[in-house]
Amino acid sequence: MFAPKLVPGDEIRIIAPATSMIILKGAQLDLAVERLTQLGFKVTFGKYADAHDEFFSSSIEERIEDLHEAFTDPNVKGILTAIGGYNSNQLLKYIDYDLIASNPKVFCGYSDITALQLAIYKKTGLVTYSGPHFSTFGVKHGLEYTLNSFLDAVTNDAPYEISPSETWSDDAWYLEQENRTFHENDGYMVIREGEASGKLIGGNLSTMNLLQGTEFMPSLKDSILFIEDDEESHSRSFDRDVQSLLHLPDAASIKALLIGRFQKNSNVTEEALRKIILSKVELRNIPIIANVNFGHVQPFATLPIGSFATVKAASDKTEIFIEQDE
């Protein structure tokens, strides 16, 4: 089930189902609102987007109220999460999934928001979007790739490609907007060649693994699995998190694997990544591409969870095409 695509004039609601928006700098919020307004959207905020406790979040009741209100308000056409965090999975048992199924809307975010996105997809069939938070639109420099991919995903029904960006950056942009370092992108890293098609399922790996064994975990059957993790991950934790995912019953039918570029502080080298992935017998004979433009390194693409995708991986060329047909 696809939500109606966004068009100029649509209202986008900002909610904070994980960390409160209160931690964001005012200048970044102003720029994010300006960017979305320039695209023709009206930006509104959930009642409790700024609420916070000692954990820099708000109560389950407050976060659920904002989530439900965003889906039920007929004026709201799209929903952006303010930022990620650690506790989105607290909400899963309290969500009215029938309400969401009856009011399908574009829902976009990433990182910890993966828990909500996969649960919503599993319970309702609604395609959700692993892509920018509202705070992402507050990036002053180097946003073009991220912005264009977001628009490809949420405003257009046409297929689009997740091609490598020209440059990438792992700067703490939220601390310093002007002193940025952009590295030339040498393209994606092919770990195993091949071609495959399937349904896109994935997001933040450590968050996905929180759903294992619960009613909120989608099947990996015939999936194009995409995974990424942040700087808190390292080679050994990534290895065991991947292995845990591969123990799921439907993992044997994964059609392809896409891995987002790691942050520098994770110290996951290309050599280590290649060795870890090639050691997994469960992943033999499927195309595997790493250093893909999604996750915590900028810029990044928007991937529709539950949509159809085709992957082609060769030593000299990679292609990742996203279909958006219902």
Q: Which residue numbers are catalytic?
A: 111, 228, 296
**Beta strands per DSSP E along the chain:** 11-15, 42-45, 76-81, 106-109, 128-130, 160-161, 167-168, 183-184, 189-192, 194-204, 223-228, 256-260, 288-292, 303-305, 308-314, 317-322
Tell me the C-alpha distance between 248 and 309, whole Å: 22
Structure tokens at 101: 């199924």
Q: What is the DSSP letter of 298?
A: B
Q: What angle do CA 79, 80, 83 make, to 5 degrees?
A: 150
- One-letter amino acid for residue 63 of the chain: R
3-state secondary structure (DSSP) of residue 295 = coil
Please report, for residues 19, 81, 82, 87, the alpha-carbon distance to residue 59 in angstroms, rounded to integers and kept in the order given: 11, 16, 16, 11
The tokens 């023709």 sit on which residue? 40
d(CA 30, CA 50): 15
Distances (CA, A) of 258 to 61, 168, 241, 295, 303: 36, 17, 15, 11, 11
Taking alpha carbons only, the member of 192, 204, 199, 217 closest to residue 290 is 192
Strands 76-81 and 106-109: parallel
Cα 248 to the center of its chain, rounded Å: 21
Please give the Cα distance from 308 to 202 (Å, whole number).
13
Q: CA torsion sign, 48 to 304 to 271 to 174?
A: negative
